[in-house]
Amino acid sequence: MTQSETMSHVSPDAARERLTAVRAEVAKAVVGQDAAVSGLLVALACGGHVLMEGVPGTAKTLLVRSLSAALSVETRRVQFTPDLMPGDITGSMVVESSHGSLTFREGPVFTNLLLADEINRTPPKTQSALLEAMEEGQVSVDGVTRPLPKPFLVAATQNPIEYEGVYPLPEAQLDRFLLKVVLPVPERADEVQILTRHASGFDPRDVAAAGVTAVASGADIEAARRLVGSVQVSPEVTGYIVDIARATRESPSLSAGVSPRGATALLRAARAWAWLAGRDFVTPDDVKSLAHATLAHRLALRPEAELEGVQVSQVLSSAIGAVPVPR
């Protein structure tokens, strides 16, 4: 049975139930971080990529490893370092010693779920090796284009830019991420629960021992992506998204507002959010719920605004607040 035939046998309710069941499986290993888990589910459902930022020790890597364990898909991890080369990610042509001819050796990007760990610890040239893969689901090496497996998702982690030894992600690279979610230091109650788990023998390097099992397949993810595309968006909601994007472009604090690509990303994310909630239509609240995670990393402050201590989140909140909400 082909994958398309398998997808046709996945009912809408079953696909939704299996994807939402992933949340409970991840929670067996990760305490809190609900926004990040929601972001990963949205990206799975609509075919986007997620950038997760947080100080070391906030469970960024553990979260993706737990997600991997909850999905029956192929997963690979790349630890980004200053000496990492583009070919270390995409693959390269190598000489086969047996017959002396050149053969393409696939890199770790040829997988379903790629954990790009500490992506901003490698120079922009290597970061950019992921651009084609993330945008078009393919890799071009030595003049030959090779498709990546489906589904394909990049879950990248990064440390805040204030940390030593990190490189800012190029704007083009940031734009390829559907969502950027910030993982905060846990609240006291969550931190107590984390320590209690560790005191009981929890090993973050062994998520299987925590009871995380695969509850969704690649076919479920592909079916979800097809179903999300059928979620209805009214002209009023479409106009609401466009007006938010245009409001950011008119802000005096920003040197670059939301592009049409960013507005399209917000539409995709809102559709996935609505579908995961069991609805076949998008509401303005869906748009507002995803606006910060989808748009904030696409905005650039003017230098004078940065000097004044203005935050992108504040500017985006003002822009959203200035747009009338359709009824």
Angle between helices 12-26 and 260-276 in degrees, nearest 10:
90
**What's the rounded Cα separation, in Å, for the pair 79 and 276?**
31
- The pLDDT > 70 percentage for the chain reads 95
Nearest to 178 by CA among 156, 162, 146, 159: 156
CATH of domain 3-225: 3.40.50.300
The verdict on domain 229-321 having CATH code 3.70.10.10 is no
* Cα–Cα dist 242/259, whole Å: 10
Please determine, for residue 121, whether its predicted confidence score (pLDDT) is greater than 50: yes
Top-confidence range, 188-192, 215-219, 254-258, 282-286: 282-286
Distance, CA of 240 to CA of 159 (rounded, Å): 33
20-29, 125-134, 156-165 — most confident range: 20-29
Helix (H, G, I), strand (E, B) or coil at 260: helix
Report pLDDT for 162: 59
Amino acid 4: pLDDT: 45
Residue 43 has which token pair?
């990206």
- Domain-wise residue ranges, the chain: 3-225, 229-321
Calculate mean pLDDT across residues 107-121: 91
pLDDT of amino acid 292 = 95
Calculate the average pLDDT of the chain.
88
Q: How many C-beta atoms lie closer than 10 Å to residue 302's C-beta?
A: 15
Q: What are the pLDDT digits (tens) for 23-34? A: 989 988 888 888
* Distance of alpha carbon 228 from alpha carbon 48, whole angstroms: 12
The confidence score (pLDDT) of residue 58 equals 83
Q: Is residue 166 within 8 Å of residue 120, measured between CB atoms?
A: yes
Cβ neighbours for 222, distance < 8 A, ≥ 6 positions apart: 3, 7, 150, 151
Look at the block and give the residue holding tokens 């609805």: 279
Helix locations, the chain, DSSP H? 3-8, 12-26, 34-46, 60-69, 87-90, 124-127, 131-136, 171-175, 188-199, 218-228, 235-249, 260-276, 284-295, 303-307, 312-321
Q: Provide CB contacts within 8 A for 316, sequence distance 6+.
A: 248, 291, 292, 295, 296, 299
Residues 129 and 114: their CA atoms lie apart, in Å, by: 13
